[in-house]
A and B are shown apart, each in its own frame.
Chain A
Amino acid sequence: MAELSRNIRELKSILYGNGEQEPVTEACVQLTQEFFRENTLRLLIICLPKLNLETRKDATQVVANLQRQQVSSRIVASEYLESNKDLLDILISGYENMDIALHYGAMLRECIRHQSIARYVLESEHMKKFFDYIQLPNFDIASDASATFKELLTRHKATVAEFLSKNYDWFFQEFNSRLLSSTNYITKRQAIKILMVMCFSFQLLGDMLLDRSNSAVMMRYVSSKDNLMILMNLLRDSSKNIQIEAFHVFKLFAANKNKPPEVVNILVTNRSKLLRFFAGFKIDKEDEQFEADKEQVIKEISGL
């Protein structure tokens, strides 16, 4: 076991260099090739629970680094994982084991940098499990799962757009009922953050590609009365942080140029309350963008 630990540390120092020496490209290439040819990744992942803490960390660093190594401008890791997708199933199930969750989680986030792998996870049944993992009582692990979830839903935008357009109904049903409407502070806070980042990434996607089909999911989201109601409830959450992040999503509902009648209806019915709320809605430090957004929202709502 001690020898195994030494070997893994050795791999690490080849990939990362040690204090004095920079890593040598040729050595990294060779290591990458042999590592994936020999199925070492599978071994490392499966045996990780048997390693001691320091060696687990080394192994995780090795796996993370290998995801980015290129051999004649091909990313070998991506190709390997595509034909070994069951490894991802193992990594994801790591969230159910407190002892290895953080190591598997870190490896998993590196693996989903590959678009095809992210697509596999998005389209797998595992996506549903994340709604449980995010609510695990252990803060470290729940946060890790939440970070992975956020990464899955924002990194490869076109893939996410496709996933959401196919899975819109169940996904937002779960997201709204289990996360955003949770009574648990941390669950709500993590969820609204993920939603905010998602909205922003889609908004950006729409702008960059000038292709409305990609922001269709967004349009659908901000045209829903149910979504609006949940966001409005979050606006009056007792947590200021949740209020602020909810506002950044709420403003998209207000800015929507094609608001369906039911959305307009809710906004008009609550107009005076909303305006009163925004009048007193301040954040601690000066933020011009926030004030500008608020002005815009107030204008939109008053003009309805």
Chain B
Amino acid sequence: MSGCDSEVKYPLNAESYRLLFKIGSGASAVVYKALCLPLGSAVVAIKAIDLERSRANLDDVWREAKAMTLLSHSNVLRAHCSFTVGSHLWVVMPFMGAGSLHSILTHGFADGLPEPCIALVLKDTLRALCYLHEQGRIHRDIKAGNILVDADGSVKLADFGVSASIYESETSSMHAPSAPVLSSSSYFSDLAGTPYWMAPEVIHSHVGYGIKADIWSFGITALELAHGRPPLSHLPPSKSMVMRITSRVRLEDAEMISRRRKKFSKAFRDMVSSCLCQEPARRPSAEKLLRHPFFKGCRSNNDYLVRNVLVAVPGIEERCNKDTNNLCGCAGRGARCVSSCCHTNVAKNRRISGWNFNEDNFELDPTDDGNDEQRCRFPFVKNDLVERTSNNSTGGECEGSQTRRRERIIGVKEVVIPQLMTILESLEMQLGMVMHVLECGGFHVNDSGCGRAPAREEREEMLLCYVRQLEQRVEELTTQVDKEIARNGRLEAQLQARVNVKNINPSQTSGSIS
């Protein structure tokens, strides 16, 4: 909008766009591929945010939408425009033909990308982060799912904007009109009112931590790209996770991965571990990271990405069809369909810089209770299997029903295989645990020479680093909570003081509610 004046103006009404199909969905938003009819049917992506369902208040939505309009960098996804359609906000954005890196991983690189490609996309991501941080913005949700690739191999960081995901921790001032209204109005105008324009020193004290949190997430994203999933992603995001992390289950698991899979360069490992430094202050800035040796030899050539990555994954349309077995056909009906028909796995992912440690499982298993997970998965799978075998054994009545059955078997296969994979994964994890216990007990089951020990130690240290990191984060969050509680206390005291004054002079205030 407020960029160069020569820019193409996108129309501000729903009638000018034709929604083609859904390419992503979250708790309160759906993203569509769409055509902009007046602009020669130019392809765009439209994010339809349900303002009724979104837990964010309007001011926050506005601030983020504004940021998305005012940011201008070749590696940052910028909004063309935004307007409301009923109770939905439509944000019109460039369509990124190859989808997110998360989707690319899922549909062709389950074990991770080759290192030169990682360097390429991470370098572009870092450029975007540099720009954002220089502008005093923090992204708060760096992950493969938010790094988008276009069909020509260009890379853009997305979703620092209107994504509902980042508002979860905001106090919802709209529900409580008493104290929050006051505090929110003064808060917004004095401080965060225009965070976009906030002074660097304010930024540094207020979001200095956030900038380094972005770097941490960046490190995790690097691992996600390397292994096809973020570390610890096989654990449920419950409290027990912390227990399991501290008991270093993951060490064994990582060990297995590294044994089975590829080796990474020292530069890569060094870059990642600097991002995952326990002390936020000691993590490098985005600018410094860009100068890291890992990115030195990196060819800035998007073609490379096209030839080596994009050719290996199906087009986004195909991916979406595969993903949405329960396709609701909502694309045609516009933004009204956001309600219950969409996948909710993205919704589980809305914590600040929140790594969904269990994303893979969420897609397969609707329960998010870590304890129930094992119990309910098995019978579910068993039933499917029974169904499948019975179908096979009673086969041979008439042609038509056989075709039908075959179709059904294929459908069943699609359900069963991922679940079997999950079981395999959880068995591997249990194996890891058992091995760990055995090793702790002095049984060197795996004692195939001490040559591997240094590498193991290094990994162990790296993983310990995450654990400390997480602990640190919990601590930081606890402090924040404490501060909030103190602030609440003060506000309540103020309120009480006012009430007291009122009680002294009840006749003066008869017009107001008591």
Instruction: Report the bound CA distance from A57 to B2 in whole Å.
Output: 10
Instruction: Tally chain B residues at the interface, Cβ within 8 Å.
Output: 57
For residue A141, which residues in chain B have a CB less than 8 angstroms away from its CB?
Answer: 1
For residue B135, which residues in chain A have a CB less than 8 angstroms away from its CB?
Answer: 57
CB distance from B505 to the nearest CB of A (A): 6
For residue B177, which residues in chain A have a CB less than 8 angstroms away from its CB?
Answer: 196, 200, 245, 248, 289
Whether A200 contacts B181 by the Cβ 8 Å rule is yes
Interchain pairs with CB closer than 8 A, number? 175
Instruction: Tally chain A residues at the interface, Cβ within 8 Å.
Output: 79
Nearest chain-B residue to A19 (Cβ)?
B200
Instruction: Report the bound CA distance from A201 to B505 in whole Å.
Output: 19
CB distance from B78 to the nearest CB of A (A): 10
Whether B174 contacts A212 by the Cβ 8 Å rule is no
Q: Which of A14-59 contact B (CB under 8 A)?
A: 15-19, 22-23, 49, 52-54, 56-57
Whether B200 contacts A18 by the Cβ 8 Å rule is yes
Whether A102 contacts B62 by the Cβ 8 Å rule is no
For B188, B199, B204, which residue has the most chain A Cβ atoms within 10 angstroms?
Answer: B199
For residue A210, which residues in chain B have a CB less than 8 angstroms away from its CB?
Answer: 501, 505, 508-509
Whether B83 contacts A139 by the Cβ 8 Å rule is yes
CB distance from B73 to the nearest CB of A (A): 10
Instruction: Report the bound CA distance from A258 to B176 in whole Å.
Output: 26
Whether A140 contacts B4 by the Cβ 8 Å rule is no
Q: Is B510 an interface residue (CB 8 A)?
A: yes
Q: Which of B1-25 contact A (CB under 8 A)?
A: 1-5, 9, 12-13
Instruction: Report the bound CA distance from A56 to B5 in whole Å.
Output: 13
Q: Which of A90-119 contact B (CB under 8 A)?
A: 98-103, 106, 109, 113
Chain A binding surface, main DSSP class: helix
Q: Which of B62-89 contact A (CB under 8 A)?
A: 62, 65-66, 69-70, 72, 81-84, 86-87, 89
For residue B200, which residues in chain A have a CB less than 8 angstroms away from its CB?
Answer: 16-19
Instruction: Report the bound CA distance from A141 to B196 in whole Å.
Output: 15
Whether A22 contacts B87 by the Cβ 8 Å rule is no
Whether A207 contacts B175 by the Cβ 8 Å rule is no
Q: Is B194 an interface residue (CB 8 A)?
A: yes
Instruction: Sample 27 A-B pairs with CB under 8 A, ordered by A number.
Output: A16-B199, A23-B201, A49-B5, A52-B4, A53-B3, A53-B72, A56-B2, A64-B197, A101-B1, A102-B66, A102-B70, A139-B65, A140-B66, A143-B59, A143-B61, A144-B62, A147-B62, A147-B188, A151-B189, A155-B189, A200-B178, A210-B508, A222-B511, A252-B512, A258-B510, A287-B175, A289-B176
In the A-B complex, the 10 residue pairs with the smallest Cβ-Cβ separation, listed nearest first, are: A143-B62, A255-B513, A137-B12, A248-B177, A139-B82, A186-B84, A257-B510, A203-B512, A185-B87, A16-B199
Task: Add 20 more A-B contacts to A196-B177, A222-B511, A244-B175 (CB < 8 A).
Answer: A16-B200, A17-B201, A19-B204, A22-B201, A57-B196, A64-B194, A102-B1, A103-B2, A137-B13, A137-B83, A138-B12, A139-B83, A155-B189, A185-B84, A185-B87, A239-B52, A245-B177, A251-B513, A285-B175, A289-B177
